[in-house]
Amino acid sequence: MSSLLTSTLQRASGTADGSPTPPRRPVLLLALLAGIVAAGATLLACLLLGLVGWFLSDAGVHGPPREAMRAGATAWLMAHGSGLTVQGAAVTVVPLGLTVLAGWTTWRVAQRLGESVWGHGPDVHRLSDGERDWTVPVATGGFGVGYATVALVTASLVAGSLVQPDRSALLTWSLLLTVCLAAPAIAAGSGRGAVWAAALPPAVRHGAATAVTILLSVLGVSAALLVVAFALSFGEAANMVEQLGTTGGETTLLGLVNLALLPNAVLLAGSFLVGPGFAVGVGTLVSPSAVVLGPLPVLPLLAALPDPGTPSSWWGLTVGVPVLVAAAAVVRLQRRRPTLRWDEGALRGCGGGIVAGAVLTVLASLAGGAAGPGRMREVGVFSGDLLVHSVTALGLGGLLGGLVITWWQRRTSVPADEDAAPES
């Protein structure tokens, strides 16, 4: 708030040394340029990766450099949900590793945009008169237009017989990145976010922090599960690479492809951990209670899948892991933000767990799609089942954790009158 007041007062009276305030660039223009930069930065990175892949694949045997750049642009479009068609088979799986890179770049560029426009908007007198501050909405809209423009132009340049980008999906993903990442980053960078957050009820702020903590904890445990499963099956993954007969450069390129799909695998592992599991093809199931698989692509990351059949009975204990993870996350957070009220502790934990379960379901749903012809046209989680299981498990775990830590804090707290009593 103080930064906003200082900014508006400087606008009214000039700079701190008394000189006139220099003219400011229009917010909309800055936002358009920021959106173009955010999209263009990750696009350029994908183009460079395409050229690196072209060089590693025997430096041109598989096509000229422009085809490599086309492949890099296609990967960027796929990271924004465009999909592609290979010999008549649709591939709609989103490489979330590239999407995460695009999201991080969006946040950083939008945050810098917020810092650039923090002094715009009505001054303190106009705000007190009831004038609305449209700085963040205008900046967010301009950012989204710039980002979507790059996406649509790239889709037009790449479109061909192999790639028919889904422009509606591109616009949807551009909108999601703008609303979910760019808008909060602009608000935070401009100082408005702190002002708005302070106006929220404490229960909302604490519940949101709890949900984020639980979600990150579940994803961390899911990533650990994936690493352990892949390490135990590393020999099988090495055999897959040998079957492909790739050169050293091509093996490096294959590793980059697996790295781009790593967040997808983590989210699928999260669905496995919660209980419903996921499918790797039509009629397949990978869950703690049963594993049914069919023919699979030769992708080293798939070596982490368990063997087909009925898993050992102790795998059934995994259903309790999300509950314990959620409870531990709530305890860890509430130790830093204590409360002595039973209802508040329960609401924080249970509400945060329910929100975390819903967000986990949405993210895991983005990890699947069509991965090829035949059986591979269905890969991903069972969204309805995952929603029920995740909301129940994480909500219950959050509730238990909230009640346990509240009981402990009530038991170990020092009463106010005892703390204020004079020493004898």
Read off the pLDDT of residues 337-368 as tens digits, 9 standing for 90 and up: 887 788 888 888 899 999 999 999 999 999 98
Same domain, yes or no, for 195 and 207?
Answer: no
Same domain, yes or no, for 119 and 36?
Answer: yes
Average pLDDT across the chain, whole number: 82
Same domain, yes or no, for 195 and 254?
Answer: no
Q: What is the pTM of this model?
A: 0.85
Read off the pLDDT of residues 142-196 as tens digits, 9 standing for 90 and up: 999 999 999 999 998 888 766 778 888 899 999 999 999 999 999 988 888 887 8
SS3 content of the chain, % helix, strand, coil (to 5): 70, 5, 25
Same domain, yes or no, for 174 and 145?
Answer: yes
- Which amino acid is residue 191, in one-letter code? G
* Residue with tokens 């479109």, as numbered in its chain: 159
Split at pLDDT 50, 70, 90, the class of 107 is very high
Q: Residue 273: inside a domain, yes or no?
A: yes
> Which of 144, 172, 199 is a domain's end point?
199
Asked if residues 351 and 210 have their Cβ atoms less than 8 Å apart, the reply is yes
Query: Structural domain tally of the chain?
Result: 2
Same domain, yes or no, for 265 and 234?
Answer: yes
Same domain, yes or no, for 224 and 189?
Answer: no
The parent domain of residue 228 ranges over 201-413
Same domain, yes or no, for 187 and 214?
Answer: no
> Which of 159, 182, 199 is a domain's end point?
199
> Which of 150, 183, 199 is a domain's end point?
199
Q: Residue 119: inside a domain, yes or no?
A: yes
Q: Which residues, 6+ apart, have CB-to-CB distance to 358 below 8 Å?
A: 387, 390, 391
Split at pLDDT 50, 70, 90, the class of 106 is very high
Same domain, yes or no, for 82 and 230?
Answer: no
Give strand pairing partners of 84: 91
- For CA atoms 178, 179, 182, 183, the dihedral sign is positive
3-state secondary structure of 381: strand
